[in-house]
């Protein structure tokens, strides 16, 4: 399949998927990449260069907050991202938009 | 490539503020260290993550608008600073090379009385048309130009008739001319001849040799 089109289609939903993954609990970058890969059964395999700018943008928009964990002995400190109340609200709205778009797409694609 | 080189390569190619670059560096280090802790090798990690330019490009295309604006502003600011510094340096160089004049009495190199004496002596030699002596008392650069033919040519430009007998000689006005690291004594003297008045501008070098001759 043409990778360019696949990449474009996926790009549009990444913000929503990242917010969804953060809905349950705060997570760090690598954890988000791993979960997205596993839960989507490898449909979404994000690279660091794609994920972090999304997180920066969500943080600039105040939809997520970030915080470094305390260094514990030799354990590597991690930067955790947590969804905010505004982020939960935005996720709900984006989810509705996604449903509407999916229905519209389905109607066109199923046409003979 | 080491982990440090890999991260440095990525960060140096990301177009954002320095604050954000430090953040990115710290996050990449943490991510890579975490994966190393999980037993992956650095080679496996870098292969999964992608090459340095790919990752940087990923950051650049997805960076928030505010970061991209800041980066462009920083670039422009740096360029302006470089231009200002260059202009300043150019003006310093220009100032250094531009000729400046100072009163000769304040000179640390020239004795005013000596200079005036040499200037008057030069006028006497010119009036006597003693070109050989004139050349002997000149700098090496000026010497070839002080021939009878060239001086006669210069005289013709001042007056198409012979100057005639000298009638009087005026006061000498002297200054010190500084250009770069070169110092010269320059004197102007007005001489009245039978048929014309001539102003000579005579330049003397630190060896008290004739370095310039101009008449009008």
Residue pLDDT, tens place only, B15-60? 888 888 898 898 888 888 888 888 889 988 888 888 888 888 888 8
> Per-residue pLDDT averaged across A20-30, rounded?
94
What is the reported pLDDT for A82? 96
What is the reported pLDDT for B70? 79
> What is the per-residue pLDDT across B81-96, written as a single tens digit (0 to 9) for each?
999 999 999 988 888 8
- Decide if B58 and A28 are in contact by the 8 Å CB cutoff: no
**Reported ipTM exceeds the 0.90 cut:** no
- Say if B63 is an interface residue toward chain A (CB within 8 Å): yes
Chain B hits for A60, Cβ within 8 Å: 64, 66
Chain B, nearest residue to A71 by Cα: B30
Chain B, nearest residue to A15 by Cα: B62
> Per-residue pLDDT averaged across B165-175, rounded?
92
Smallest CA–CA separation between A93 and chain B, in Å?
21
Check if the beta carbon of residue B137 is closer than 8 Å to that of residue B209.
yes
- Say if A49 is an interface residue toward chain B (CB within 8 Å): yes
What is the reported pLDDT for B133? 92
Nearest to A79 among B30, B50, B58 (CB): B30
> Per-residue pLDDT averaged across B160-186, rounded?
91
> Per-residue pLDDT averaged across B105-110, rounded?
90
Q: pLDDT class for B185, splitting at 50, 70, 90?
A: very high
| Residues ≥6 apart with Cβ < 8 Å to B161 | B195, B196
For chain A positions 3-42, those within 8 Å of chain B (CB to CB) are 28-30
| Residues ≥6 apart with Cβ < 8 Å to A48 | A29, A33, B27, B28, B31, B49, B55, B58
Tokens encoding B139:
């700098």
> Per-residue pLDDT averaged across B155-174, rounded?
91
> What is the per-residue pLDDT across A33-91, written as a single tens digit (0 to 9) for each?
999 999 999 999 988 888 888 898 899 899 999 998 887 777 778 899 999 999 999 99
Alpha carbons within 13 A on the beta-carbon side of B72: 7
Chain B hits for A47, Cβ within 8 Å: 49-50, 54-55, 58
- φ and ψ at B121, to 5 degrees? -60, -40
Per DSSP, helices labelled H in B38-64 are 42-49, 52-62
Nearest to A49 among B34, B35, B59 (CB): B59
Nearest to A76 among B20, B34, B59 (CB): B34
- Say if A92 is an interface residue toward chain B (CB within 8 Å): no
> Per-residue pLDDT averaged across B94-116, rounded?
89
**Which letter does DSSP use for residue A23 in this model?**
S
Smallest CA–CA separation between B31 and chain A, in Å?
6
What is the reported pLDDT for A6? 81
What is the reported pLDDT for B72? 82
Mean pLDDT of chain B: 89
What is the reported pLDDT for A78? 86
Among B15, B11, B43, residue whose Cα is nearest residue B29: B11
- φ and ψ at B21, to 5 degrees? -60, -40
Helices B18-37 and A48-60, axial angle in degrees (round to 10): 130
- Say if B59 is an interface residue toward chain A (CB within 8 Å): yes
Among B24, B22, B15, residue whose Cα is nearest residue B49: B24
The answer, yes or no, to whether residue A15 has pLDDT greater than 90, is: yes
What is the reported pLDDT for B78? 86
| Residues ≥6 apart with Cβ < 8 Å to A41 | none
Check if the beta carbon of residue B158 is closer than 8 Å to that of residue B127.
no
**Which letter does DSSP use for residue B14 in this model?**
-
The answer, yes or no, to whether residue A1 has pLDDT greater than 70, is: no
- Say if B34 is an interface residue toward chain A (CB within 8 Å): yes
The reported pTM is: 0.56
Instruction: Considering only residues B69 and A75, tell me which one the structure prediction assigns the higher pLDDT.
Output: B69
Among A38, A39, A37, residue whose Cα is nearest residue A48: A37
């Amino acid at each position: 399949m043409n990778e360019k089109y696949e990449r474009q289609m996926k790009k549009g939903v990444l913000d929503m998927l990242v917010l969804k993954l953060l809905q349950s609990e705060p997570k760090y970058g690598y954890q988000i990449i791993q979960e997205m890969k596993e839960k989507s059964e490898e449909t979404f395999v994000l690279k660091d260069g794609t994920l972090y700018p999304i997180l920066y943008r969500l943080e600039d928009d105040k939809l997520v907050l970030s915080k470094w964990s305390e260094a514990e002995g030799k354990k590597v400190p991690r930067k955790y991202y947590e969804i905010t109340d505004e982020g939960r609200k935005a996720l709900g709205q984006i989810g509705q938009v996604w449903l509407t778009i999916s229905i519209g797409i389905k109607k066109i694609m199923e046409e003979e | 490539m080491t982990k440090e080189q890999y991260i440095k390569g990525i960060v140096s190619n990301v177009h954002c503020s320095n604050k954000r670059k430090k953040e990115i560096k710290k996050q990449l280090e943490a991510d890579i260290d975490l994966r190393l802790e999980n037993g992956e090798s650095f080679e496996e990690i870098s292969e999964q993550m992608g090459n340095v330019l790919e990752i940087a490009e990923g950051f650049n295309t997805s960076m928030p608008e505010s970061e991209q604006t800041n980066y462009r502003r920083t670039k422009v600011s740096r360029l302006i600073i470089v231009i200002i510094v260059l202009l300043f340096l150019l003006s310093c160089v220009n100032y250094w090379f531009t000729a400046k004049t100072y009163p000769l009495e304040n000179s640390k190199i020239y004795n005013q009385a000596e200079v005036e004496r040499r200037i008057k002596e030069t006028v006497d030699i010119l009036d006597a048309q003693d070109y050989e002596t004139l050349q002997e008392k000149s700098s090496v650069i000026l010497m070839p130009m002080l021939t009878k033919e060239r001086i006669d040519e210069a005289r013709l430009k001042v007056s198409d008739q012979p100057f005639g007998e000298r009638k009087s000689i005026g006061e000498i006005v002297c200054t010190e001319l500084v250009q770069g690291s070169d110092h010269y004594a320059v004197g102007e003297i007005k001489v009245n001849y039978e048929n014309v008045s001539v102003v000579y501008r005579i330049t003397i070098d630190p060896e008290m040799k004739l370095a310039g001759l101009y008449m009008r």
